């Protein structure tokens, strides 16, 4: 109906206004979060001269990785793998990683392009192994004799898509200066708890801080500056950023901020 359409348009406009001014991480910081909090992505290398019809073509597959201290991806590759054979001839590669909660093109993803090089034996190999096993503790096969450690170095381009109408490039310097987010690693347990036990409170928070009534709210991820949520109204889904009142530096501060926002929303509702 015309009234339903007008209501949907008004909601979309209100959310768009809110999203345009909501505090959020920089593209560089968001790219670092996506790479640091995941462990698998689509790795593409250039087919080597012995790759048959794939010679010279991008060869992509899902590959496990771990980020090092600088946010650069580390891989454990078998000598038999396409990627290892390609890298020995030409190290140019691109890794594409999606947000942990990725479902469609409205969700964030980042692509990093650089040179895939084998890690020197010794201390560097030990560090790479430790970082990788911290992310993939069951990867016993990394110690098999045909596996070697690789790292993306000489990064030349980083491209991030944060969702609809949110895309940009991150310079190598900007990425190098982006520090690991102090709370993003807690997203899964915090969001799981809030979604399971506090759905009504989340709707009140959206009403208070965004000014719209919605049918449901799903908290999807958190970072130091706020919560990334998805709201549903009349079957339609919308992204909704809920900034914290002040930045969180740890899990306790995340709880404190959520409690504060919940209480503010409840007080506003009771005052009406």
Task: Give the pair of three-digit tokens for residue 29.
Answer: 């910081």
Sequence-distant (≥ 6) Cβ neighbours of residue 135 within 8 angstroms: 39, 65, 66, 67
Q: Is the predicted pLDDT of residue 5 greater than 80, yes or no? A: no
Task: Give the pair of three-digit tokens for residue 120.
Answer: 């020197």
Task: Give the pair of three-digit tokens for residue 130.
Answer: 């430790």
| Coil/strand/helix, residue 49 | coil
- pLDDT 10s digits, 39-72: 999 999 999 999 999 999 999 999 999 999 999 9
Rounded average pLDDT over 215-230: 97
Q: Is the predicted pLDDT of residue 192 greater than 90, yes or no? A: yes
pLDDT of residue 272: 75
- pLDDT 10s digits, 142-154: 999 999 999 998 9
Task: Give the pair of three-digit tokens for residue 262.
Answer: 């919940």
pLDDT of residue 130: 97
State the Cα–Cα distance between residues 117 and 148, nearest whole angstrom.
10
pLDDT of residue 164: 75
Q: Is the predicted pLDDT of residue 178 greater than 90, yes or no? A: yes
Q: Give the 3-state secondary structure of 153-194.
A: EEEEEEEEEEECCEEEEECHHHHHHCCCCCCHHHHHHHHHHH
Reported as a pLDDT band with limits 50, 70 and 90, residue 4 is low
Beta strands 40-46 and 58-64, pairing class:
antiparallel
Task: For the chain, list the domains and their CATH numbers.
Answer: 2-21+185-271 (3.20.180.10), 27-179 (2.30.110.10)
């Amino acid at each position: 109906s015309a009234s339903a359409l007008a209501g949907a348009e008004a909601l979309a406009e209100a959310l768009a206004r809110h999203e345009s001014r909501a505090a959020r991480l920089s593209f560089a910081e968001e790219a670092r979060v996506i790479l640091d909090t995941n462990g698998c992505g689509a790795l593409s290398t250039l087919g080597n001269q012995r790759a048959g019809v794939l010679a010279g073509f991008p060869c992509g597959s899902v590959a496990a990785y771990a980020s090092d201290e600088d946010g650069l991806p580390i891989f454990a590759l078998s000598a038999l793998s396409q990627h290892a054979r390609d890298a020995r001839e030409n190290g140019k590669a691109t890794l594409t990683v999606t947000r942990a909660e990725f479902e469609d093109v409205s969700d964030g993803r980042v692509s990093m392009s650089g040179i895939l090089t084998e890690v020197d034996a010794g201390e560097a190999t030990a560090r790479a192994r430790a970082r990788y096993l911290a992310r993939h503790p069951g990867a016993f096969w990394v110690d098999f004799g045909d596996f070697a450690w690789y790292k993306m170095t000489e990064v030349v381009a980083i491209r991030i898509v944060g969702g609809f109408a949110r895309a940009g490039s991150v310079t190598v310097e900007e990425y190098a200066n982006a520090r690991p987010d102090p709370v993003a690693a807690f997203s899964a347990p915090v969001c799981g708890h809030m979604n399971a036990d506090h759905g009504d409170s989340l709707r009140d928070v959206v009403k208070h801080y965004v000014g719209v009534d919605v049918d449901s709210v799903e908290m999807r991820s958190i970072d130091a500056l706020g919560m990334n949520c998805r709201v549903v109204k009349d079957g339609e889904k919308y992204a909704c950023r809920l900034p914290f009142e002040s930045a969180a530096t740890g899990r306790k501060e995340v709880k404190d901020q959520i409690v504060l926002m919940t209480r503010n929303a409840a007080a506003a509702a009771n005052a009406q």
